[in-house]
């Protein structure tokens, strides 16, 4: 009975021994400070994105669909001939009700154009407006341009983070700091700037003058959030 009691005490001690050690390790994490720093700049846009659409309403669904399909197919062919990137997007067929009965059908489809050549795109839009309407026209940053700007800004933001941490350590009389964790956020920045919206549909086949396009700039931001631990003097 005495041996069994001694063994029980020994096993219990084996399970409880790590507790003071864990508490000691936890207490070693002191003088930690959360801080943030960032960098940003205006970057010239290098990409134009236009959305055009065709919409037709008729008492016959097939007639409405046929009108839209022909106009969109023509627009896609014109864009491809101009070597402008084109993709089709939303396609909607909506019944128009009157007194709970379908009186007509409205069909809609849009296409998206992308180009880095403002003059070329403006000329193409002038031609496309003979049968399509411009829903929106905006300037953006290409993936390559944004990536290049972000890489430069990450270095600037990290330097700003280190400078801020060093200044805090010095002010508090510490010999330096070490980084515990850090998070880099490059999702900031302004949304694309709309240049044109809701242009009225052109009913006639008269050639339309190209829209005036003046690209601008968008702000790219990089934010650094992290935790540093101050080193004892």
In a domain, 188, yes or no: yes
Q: Which residue has the higher pLDDT, 213 or 40?
A: 40
* Contact call for residues 160 and 41 (beta carbons, < 8 A): no
Q: How confident is the model at residue 5 (pLDDT cuts 50, 70, 90)?
A: very low
Q: What is the domain extent for residue 172?
A: 30-46+142-194+216-233
pLDDT of residue 13: 40
Q: How far is CA 228 from the centre of its chain?
A: 29
pLDDT of residue 28: 59
The verdict on 42 and 79 lying in the same domain is no
Q: In what order do the strands lie in the sheet with 193-197?
A: 85-98, 101-115, 47-58, 133-140, 193-197
In a domain, 162, yes or no: yes
In a domain, 19, yes or no: no
| CA-based nearest residue to 85, from 73, 93, 96, 76 | 76
Q: How far is CA 55 from CA 52, 64, 199, in A?
A: 10, 8, 13
What pTM, to 2 d.p., does this model score? Answer: 0.66
What CATH number has the domain bearing residue 111? 3.30.70.360
In a domain, 2, yes or no: no
Give per-residue pLDDT as tens, 79-100. Answer: 999 999 999 989 999 999 998 8
Give per-residue pLDDT as tens, 93-123. Answer: 999 999 889 999 999 999 999 999 989 999 9
The verdict on 173 and 233 lying in the same domain is yes
In a domain, 55, yes or no: yes
The verdict on 58 and 42 lying in the same domain is no
SS (H, E, C) the chain: CHHHHHHHHHHHHHHHCHHHHHHHHHHCCCCEEEEEEEEEEEEECCEEEEEEEEEEEECCHHHHHHHHHHHHHHHHHHHHHCCCEEEEEEEEEEEEEECCEEEEEEEEEEEEEEECCHHHHHHHHHHHCCCCEEEEEEEECCHHHHHHHHHHHHHHHHHHHHHHHHHHHHHCCCCEEEEEEEEEECCCCCCCEEEEECCCCCCCCCCCCCCCCCCCEEEEEEEEEEEEEEECC
Contact residues for 147 (Cβ-Cβ < 8 A; gap 6+): none
Quote the CA–CA distance of 179 and 157 in Å, as a whole number.
Answer: 15
pLDDT of residue 213: 72
In a domain, 109, yes or no: yes
């Amino acid at each position: 009975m005495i041996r069994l009691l001694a063994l029980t005490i020994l096993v219990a001690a084996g399970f409880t021994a790590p507790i003071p050690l864990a508490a000691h390790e936890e207490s070693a994490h002191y003088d930690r400070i959360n801080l943030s720093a960032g960098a940003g700049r205006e970057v010239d846009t290098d990409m134009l994105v236009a959305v055009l659409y065709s919409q037709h309403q008729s008492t016959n669904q097939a007639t409405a669909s046929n009108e839209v399909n022909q106009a969109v197919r023509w627009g896609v062919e014109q864009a491809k001939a101009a070597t402008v990137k084109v993709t089709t997007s939303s396609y909607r067929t909506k019944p128009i009700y009157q007194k709970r009965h379908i009186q007509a059908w409205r069909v809609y489809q849009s296409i998206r154009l992308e180009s880095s050549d403002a003059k070329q795109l403006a000329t193409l839009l002038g031609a496309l407006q003979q049968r399509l309407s411009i829903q929106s026209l905006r300037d953006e940053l290409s993936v390559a341009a944004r990536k290049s700007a972000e890489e430069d800004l990450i270095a600037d933001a990290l330097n700003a983070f280190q400078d801020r941490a060093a200044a805090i350590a010095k002010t508090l009389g510490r010999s330096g700091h070490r980084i515990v964790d850090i998070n880099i956020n490059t999702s900031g920045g302004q949304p694309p700037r709309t240049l044109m919206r809701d242009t009225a549909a052109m009913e006639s086949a008269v050639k339309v003058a190209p829209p005036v396009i003046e690209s601008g700039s968008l702000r790219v931001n990089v934010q650094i959030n992290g935790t540093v631990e101050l080193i004892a003097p």
